[in-house]
């Protein structure tokens, strides 16, 4: 099932942990609708701007999968509202800065990025219809900092 021109439900629900532990990672209709909005509002415009595919490392997570990976069952991933990703060949700070400055989003987190290592870490972004806090954080060494790169 296509969520948008360049994203599929299969890539949003793919999980090595779910496969290994035989966890059902099937979203419901509301979660699928949230993923479609995330694609339309953030991921497709991002792909169009950079002209390169986006590689998801984590998209939707069922309640059981959230527990298995140590995430909160209230996570935006569990609602279909969030994705973790990278764009090969583009520095994660460049991508995060573009999102912060140009796209609608609820939360943006630059995770485990190391200065001087453009391929380090990944980006977490969420979109929630009716709530766009524009919350920008950097996560490093088990600590969250406001904004990009403390």
Q: Give pTM, 2 decimals.
A: 0.94
Tokens of 7: 């994203």
DSSP reduced 3-state for 73: coil
Tokens 């990703």 belong to 85
pLDDT of residue 117: 87
pLDDT of residue 118: 80
Tokens 């479609």 belong to 36
Domain edges within the chain: 2-146
Alpha carbons 109 and 95: distance in angstroms, whole number: 11
Cα-based distances in Å from 89 to 83, 93, 95, 103:
19, 12, 11, 21
pLDDT tens string 86-144: 999 999 999 999 999 999 999 999 999 988 888 899 999 999 999 999 999 999 888 99
pLDDT bracket for residue 150 (50, 70, 90): low
Alpha carbons 150 and 148: distance in angstroms, whole number: 6
The answer to whether 115 and 149 are in contact (CB under 8 A) is: yes
2-146 — its CATH code?
3.30.1380.10
Rg of the chain on CA atoms, in Å: 15
- The CA angle 122-128-129, to the nearest 5 degrees, is 150
Kindly state the helix (H) or strand (E) to which residue 101 belongs, with its residue range. Answer: helix 92-102
pLDDT tens string 37-74: 999 999 999 999 999 999 999 999 999 999 999 999 99
Q: How do beta strands 82-86 and 55-58 pair? A: antiparallel
Cα-based distances in Å from 138 to 2, 44, 104, 130:
31, 23, 18, 24
What mean pLDDT comes out for the span 5-21? 97
């Amino acid at each position: 099932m296509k969520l948008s021109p360049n994203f599929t439900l299969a890539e949003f629900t793919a999980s090595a942990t779910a496969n290994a532990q035989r966890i059902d990672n099937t979203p419901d209709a509301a979660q699928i609708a949230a993923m479609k909005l995330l694609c339309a509002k953030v991921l497709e415009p991002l792909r169009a701007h950079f002209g390169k595919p986006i590689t998801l490392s984590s998209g939707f997570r069922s309640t059981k999968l959230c527990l298995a990976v140590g995430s909160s069952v209230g996570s935006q991933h569990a609602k279909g509202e969030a994705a973790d990703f990278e764009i090969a060949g583009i520095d994660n700070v460049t991508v995060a800065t573009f999102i912060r400055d140009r796209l609608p989003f609820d939360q943006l987190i630059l995770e485990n990025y190391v200065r001087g290592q453009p391929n380090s870490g990944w980006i977490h972004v969420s979109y929630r219809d009716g709530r766009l806090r524009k919350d920008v954080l950097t996560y490093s060494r088990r600590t969250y900092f406001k904004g990009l790169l403390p």
